[in-house]
Structure 1
Amino acid sequence: MYKTQNKYGPAESFLICLVLITVGLGLICVLLLVFIILQHITITAERDPIKSYKNTVEEFNQTINSLQDNYTDLTQKNLKLETRVKDLTAEKKQLQRDFDSLNKKGPVCFFMSTELKSWSDSRQYCRDRGADLVIINTEEKQVSLFSERVWIGLSDTENEGIMKWVDNSTLKQGFWLKGEPNNTNNEDCIELNYNRGKPGWSPLNSWNDVACSEKKKGICEK
């Protein structure tokens, strides 16, 4: 039997122990660092779905708001288009009436009633002769019909303030005396007033509203 002699002295043994301890502590630190990094990765991975969900919700809400704005805009545009269609339809009907009037068979002629009558009786006088009270829808026609104070085929007897011709078309252009129509004493029928001395009178400013019961001649159009 023999004893194995330690080839390291006390100082060297101490240094070796110190190195081993240092290495051990370093490994522990590395392990802790790895653990901390893994924890961070885990927490981040858990938070990312929540963040992604929030972003998705925000994008969805923005899409809904955008669609609502587009729907409101389209609704407003649709209402404007509907109004425009109604206006164009009314204009088309008026143009068709004008076209039909221009294409009546036979030449247009005018004649005046021989008796003083109310507006309705003057109209009946014309209708009994295959005509009606005259419709004046152009400046040329207006200027060509001057003679005296006579009935024309315009009134607002059905609806106050809404002038209509005897063919039921609405008045588009009027040739009124200054201050007319004024509906004084329920004046619903229109005369062509040939009165050069009346203030504001001119060939293109000569219409006047009067009571339909007044007696005067009428201009018939056939």
Structure 2
Amino acid sequence: MESGTFYVCRNINNRSGPRTQSRCKDEEKAHKQRGSRRLVLISVGLGLICILLLVFIILLNITITAERDMIKSYKNTVEEFNRTINSLQHNNTDLITEKHQLQNNFNSLSQKNLVLETKVKNLTAEKDQLQRDFDSLNKKGLVNLFMSTELKSWSDSRQYCRDRGADLVIINTEEKQRFISSLVSERVWIGLSDRETEGIMKWVDNSPLKQGFWLKDEPNNANNEDCIELNYNREEPGWSPLNSWNDHSCSEKKKGICEK
């Protein structure tokens, strides 16, 4: 019987007897049994609901935990991705800087290459010219030249040549000047001076100078310079195969170019 519920068995005619009372007790008992079953069903239902709620809460907690872990993993992935992007940006900046440096180096090398190509062309042209001069001098029998082996003054260098049946060289043509310039790798005496009369240049055969191949601003007769040298230094300002003469003190010691 449900709590708070009372069951009353009455006889319609207000009469009672043993059978009636017995039947009334049976009905009351049956009614109590039905109430007990309802209570059990309700209890079982409530238990199932609690279990379902517990399962739902557990599943919800698992879902929340999984989502939290997923969000944390996503944040870590994003942070790692950002670090990777920053690293790539730094690397890209370094590569751009290196590219610019390489480009500058390439431009510099290209300019140097152009300069070298120009020098090669000039040297090739000079070589061809010297070859032509040599061939011309060879035909004229004017290549019988040799250099002294000792450093001497202009006079002693001339004597060195004369002791060997020669004299300091006389240069009176462009082709001969080019040819001799190609032979020397140091400053050397040639057979020209104004020792006898200042300002009047003469060759060792007493012939006057007709064509000179002077360096810029030479001769200048600084410190009583009366003898002429051929300057090989290609770095000298204004130097060229046709501009290499310089007046110098006759006492200076250097080798000489002899000619038979």
Show the counterpart of 1:183. Answer: 221
Show the counterpart of 1:207. Answer: 245
Flag the structure with higher helix content: 2
Question: Which residues of 2 match residues 70-219 of structure 1 at below 5 A?
Answer: 108-146=143-181, 147=184, 148-219=186-257
Q: For 1:163 and 1:202, locate their aligned partners in 2 and report how far apart those are by CA, in whole Å.
A: 21
Task: Decide whether aligned partners of structure 1 residues 200 and 108 sit closer, same or farther in structure 2, where only a CA change above 3 A counts.
Answer: closer
Runs of 4+ in structure 1 off by over 2 angstroms are none
Task: Decide whether aligned partners of structure 1 residues 137 and 110 sit closer, same or farther in structure 2, where only a CA change above 3 A counts.
Answer: same
- Give the letter aligned to residue 127 of structure 1: R
Q: Aligned to 1:125, what secondary structure does the other structure show?
A: helix
Of the two, which has the highest radius of gyration?
2
Task: Decide whether aligned partners of structure 1 residues 128 and 187 sit closer, same or farther in structure 2, where only a CA change above 3 A counts.
Answer: same
More moved, 114-123 vs 146-155: 146-155
Q: How much has 1:107 moved relative to structure 2?
A: 6.5
- Give the letter aligned to residue 207 of structure 1: W
Task: Decide whether aligned partners of structure 1 residues 143 and 211 sit closer, same or farther in structure 2, where only a CA change above 3 A counts.
Answer: same
TM-score (norm 1): 0.52
Tell me the percent identity.
Answer: 86
Q: For 1:187 and 1:197, locate their aligned partners in 2 and report how far apart those are by CA, in whole Å.
A: 22
Q: How much has 1:198 moved relative to structure 2?
A: 0.7
What stretches of structure 1 of length at least 5 have no aligned partner? Answer: 1-101
Q: For 2:143 and 2:254, locate their aligned partners in 1 and report how far apart those are by CA, in whole Å.
A: 23
Q: For 2:216 and 2:226, locate their aligned partners in 1 and report how far apart those are by CA, in whole Å.
A: 17
Q: Aligned to 2:156, what secondary structure does the other structure show?
A: helix
Q: For 2:247 and 2:225, locate their aligned partners in 1 and report how far apart those are by CA, in whole Å.
A: 5
Show the counterpart of 2:76. Answer: none
More relative contact order, 1 or 2 (CA 8 Å, 6+ apart): 1
Q: Aligned to 1:145, what secondary structure does the other structure show?
A: helix
Q: For 2:197 and 2:177, locate their aligned partners in 1 and report how far apart those are by CA, in whole Å.
A: 24
Q: For 2:249 and 2:207, locate their aligned partners in 1 and report how far apart those are by CA, in whole Å.
A: 21
Q: Aligned to 2:191, what secondary structure does the other structure show?
A: strand
TM-score (norm 2): 0.44
- Give the letter aligned to residue 154 of structure 2: W
Q: For 2:196 and 2:154, locate their aligned partners in 1 and report how far apart those are by CA, in whole Å.
A: 14
RMSD between aligned residues: 1.7
Aligned residues: 119
